Structure 1
Amino acid sequence: MPPPGVCLNIMEARQKQKGYGSFANPDKFLNQDYQELKQYCVLRGVRYIDDMFPPDCISIGEGILSTSDLARVEWLRPMKIAPHPNFILDGISRFDFGQGILGDCWFLASIGALTFKQKILEKVVPIDQSFDEKYCGLFHFRFWRFGKWVDVVIDDKLPTINGRLIFVYSKDENEFWPALLEKAYAKVCGSYTDMISGTPAEAMMDFTGGVHMCIQLSDPPSNLWELMCRAGQSLSLMGCGTPQGETSANNILANGLVQGHAYSVTGVKQTMSQGKQLNLVRLWNPWGKGEWTGDWSDRSSLWQTMNANDRDMCLSVADDGEFWMTLEDFCKFYTDLDICSLSPDFLDGNSCHWNTTMYDGRWVAGTTAGGCMNNRDSYWTNPQYRVKISGEYSGNVGEKNVLISLMQKPDKRNRHLVENLHIGISVFEHKAQKGKFPASFFSQKPAAQTKTYMNAREVMEYFSLKPGEYLIVPSTFKANETASFMLTIITKAETHSYENSGDQKDEPVKTLKKTPNALEDKSKITFFRQNSDKYEEVDAEQLQMLLNEKILKGDLKSGGFSIDACRSMVALMDTSISGKLNGEEFIRLWKKVATYKDIFFLTDVSRTGTLSLNELRNAFQASGMRIKDDMLSLMALRYGASSGHLTLESFISLILRLDCMYKIFKQLSDGKDMNLQESEWMYISMYT
Structure 2
Amino acid sequence: MPPPGVCLNIMETRQKQDGYGSITNPDKLFGQDYQQLKTYCLSEGIMFIDNTFPPDRSSLGQGMLEPSDLARVVWLRPAKIAPHPSFILDGVSRFDFNQGQLGNCWFLASLGALTFQNHIFKQVVPLEQVFEEDYCGLFHFRFWRFGKWMDVVIDDKLPTLNGRLICVHAKDQNEFWAALLEKAYAKVCGSYTDMKAGTPSEAMMDFTGGVHMCVNLSKPPPDLWELMCRAGQSNTLMGCSTPPGEKRDNSVLPNGLVEGHAYTLTGVKQMMSRGQLVHLVRVLNPWGKGEWNGDWSDRSSLWQTVSSQDRNMCLTVDNDGEFWMTLEDFCKFYTELDICGLTPDFLDGNSSGHWKTSMYEGRWVAGTTAGGCMNNRDSYWTNPQYRVMVCGGSSQRNEEKNMLVSLMQKHDKRNRHMVQNLHIGFSIFELTEKDKTQRGKFPASFFRTHAPVVKTEIFLNAREVMEFFVLKPAEYLIVPSTFDANETASFILTIHSRAETRCHENSGDQTHETVKKPKQVKNEQEDENKKFIFRQYSDKFEEVDGEQLQRLLNEKILKGDLKSGGFSIDACRSMVALMDTSITGKLNTEEFLRLWNKVMTYKDLFYRTDVSRTGMLSLSELRNAFTASGMKVSDDMLNLMALRYGASSGHMTLENFISLVLRLDCMNKIFKQLSDGKAMKLHMTEWMYVSMYT
Same fold (TM over 0.5): yes
Report what 2:468 is aligned to: 462
Determine which of 414, 438, 444 is the counterpart of 2:443.
Answer: 438
> Which residue does 1:525 correspond to in 2?
531
Matched, 1:242 2:248: no
Q: CA deviation at 1:613?
A: 0.8
**Correspondence 1:229-628 to 2 at 5 A:** 229-350=229-350, 352=352, 353-392=354-393, 394-431=395-432, 432-435=436-439, 436-443=441-448, 444-503=450-509, 511=516, 513-518=518-523, 519-628=525-634
Of 678-687 and 497-506, deviating more is 497-506
- 1:585 deviation in Å? 1.4
- Length-normalised TM-score, structure 1: 0.98
The residue correspondences of 1:12-161 to structure 2 (distance < 5 A) are: 12-161=12-161
Most deviating of 156-165 and 387-396: 387-396
CA distance in 1, matches of 2:275, 2:515: 76
Q: C-alpha separation between the residues in 1 aligned to 2:566 and 2:223? A: 66
1:590 CA drift (Å) = 1.0
Equivalent residue letter for 2:93: S
1:632 and 2:642 correspond: no
Deviations 1:479-526 (A, max 9, x none): 1111000000111111111000134879x9995514133232222122
The farther-off stretch of 568-577 and 613-622 is 568-577
Query: What is the deviation of 1:530?
Result: 2.4
Q: CA RMSD in A?
A: 1.5
Aligned to 2:682: 676
Summarize deviations over 1:568-610 as a string: whole Å, max 9, x none: 1111112222221111111111111111011001100001111
Alpha-carbon spacing, 1:505–1:389, altered in 2? closer, same or farther (3 Å): farther
How many Å separate the matches in 2 of 1:73 and 1:550?
A: 71
Task: Describe the SS at the equivalent of 2:413.
Answer: coil
Q: Secondary structure at the match of 1:244?
A: coil
Q: Is the 8 A contact 2:48 2:155 kept in 1?
A: yes
Cα 1:509–1:561, aligned 2, differ >3 Å: closer, same or farther?
Answer: closer
Letter of the structure 1 residue corresponding to residue 49 of structure 2 = I
Q: Is the 8 A contact 1:76 1:158 kept in 2?
A: yes
Query: Structure 1: how far apart are the matches of 2:299 and 2:642?
Result: 65
Which SS does the other structure have where 1:538 is aligned? coil
Q: Following superposition of structure 1 onto structure 2, how do residues 635-646 of structure 1 map, counting pairs within 5 Å?
A: 635-646=641-652
The letter of the residue matching 1:513 is P
Q: How far 1:392 sits from its partner (Å)?
A: 3.2
Displacement after TM superposition at 1:394 (Å): 4.0
Letter in 2 for 1:21: G
Q: Determine if contact 1:509/1:622 at 8 Å carries over to the other structure.
A: no
The secondary structure found in structure 2 opposite 1:454 is coil
Could you tell me how far apart the structure 1 residues matched to 2:152 and 2:115 are?
Answer: 20
Q: Is the 8 A contact 1:512 1:622 kept in 2?
A: no
SS, match of residue 47 in structure 2: coil
CA apart distance, 1:411: 2.8
Separation (CA, whole Å) in 1 of partners of 2:637 and 2:363: 11
Measure how far apart 1:201 and its partner are. 0.1
Distance in 2 between residues matched to 1:468 and 1:85, nearest whole Å: 60
Quote the sequence identity (%).
73
* Structure-2 change in CA distance of 1:74 and 1:345 (3 Å): same
- Structure 1 pair 594–505 and aligned structure 2 pair: CA distance change class (3 A): closer
Aligned letter for 2:296?
Answer: W
CA contact (8 A) 1:74 1:160 kept: yes
In 2, the alpha carbon distance for the partners of 1:500 and 1:322 equals: 49
Verify the 8 A CA contact 1:144 1:205 in the aligned structure 2: yes
SS at match of 1:13: helix
Q: 1:133 to 1:396 in 2, by over 3 A?
A: closer
C-alpha separation in 2, matches of 1:351 and 1:77: 44
Question: How far apart in 1 are the matches of 2:520 and 2:11?
Answer: 44
* Aligned partners of 1:509 and 1:621 also within 8 Å: no
Query: Which SS does the other structure have where 1:231 is aligned?
Result: helix
SS of alignment partner, residue 221 of structure 2: coil
CA drift at 1:140? 0.4
- 1:685 aligns with 691
* 8 Å CA contact retained: 2:298, 2:316: yes
Checking the alignment, whether the CA contact within 8 Å between 2:538 and 2:544 is kept in structure 1 is yes
In the aligned structure 2, how far is the partner of 1:61 from the partner of 1:163?
20
Q: Is the 8 A contact 2:514 2:668 kept in 1?
A: no
Contact 1:371 1:379 in 2 (8 A): yes
Taking a change above 3 Å as real, the CA distance of residues 5 and 372 of structure 1, as seen in their structure-2 partners, is same
SS of the aligned residue for 1:679 comes to: helix
Q: 2: distance between equivalents of 1:74 and 1:514?
A: 78
For the Cα contact (< 8 Å) 2:510–2:634, is it kept in 1?
A: no
Q: What is the deviation of 1:451?
A: 1.8
Inter-partner Cα distance in structure 2 for 1:612 and 1:28:
40
Distance verdict in 2 for CA 1:509–1:267, change over 3 Å? farther
- 3-state DSSP of counterpart to 1:94: coil
Aligned to 2:180: 180
Amino acid at match of 2:422: L
Match of 1:636, as an amino acid? A
Per the TM alignment, residue 559 of structure 1 is displaced from its structure 2 partner at its CA by 0.8
2:46 is aligned with what amino acid? V
338-347 or 392-401: bigger deviation: 392-401
Q: Tell me if structure 2 keeps the 8 A contact 1:512–1:599.
A: no
Q: Residue 398 of structure 2 contacts residue 472 of structure 2 at CA under 8 Å; is this kept in 1?
A: no
Matches within 5 A, 1:216-227: 216-227=216-227
Q: What's the CA shift for 1:433? A: 2.5
Q: Normalising to structure 2: TM-score of the pair?
A: 0.97
CA–CA distance in 1 between the matches of 2:394 and 2:413?
Answer: 43
> What is the CA–CA distance in structure 2 between the aligned matches of 1:295 and 1:77, rounded to whole Å?
45
Which secondary structure state, in structure 1, belongs to the residue aligned with residue 437 of structure 2?
coil
Partner amino acid, structure 2, of 1:525: K
**In structure 2, what residue type is equivalent to 1:446?**
P
Greater Cα offset, 580-589 or 301-310? 580-589
* One-letter identity of the residue aligned with 1:175: E
How many Å apart are 1:562 and its aligned residue? 1.0
CA distance in 2, matches of 1:319, 1:660: 74
Structure 1 residue 305 displacement after superposition: 0.5
C-alpha displacement of 1:643: 1.1
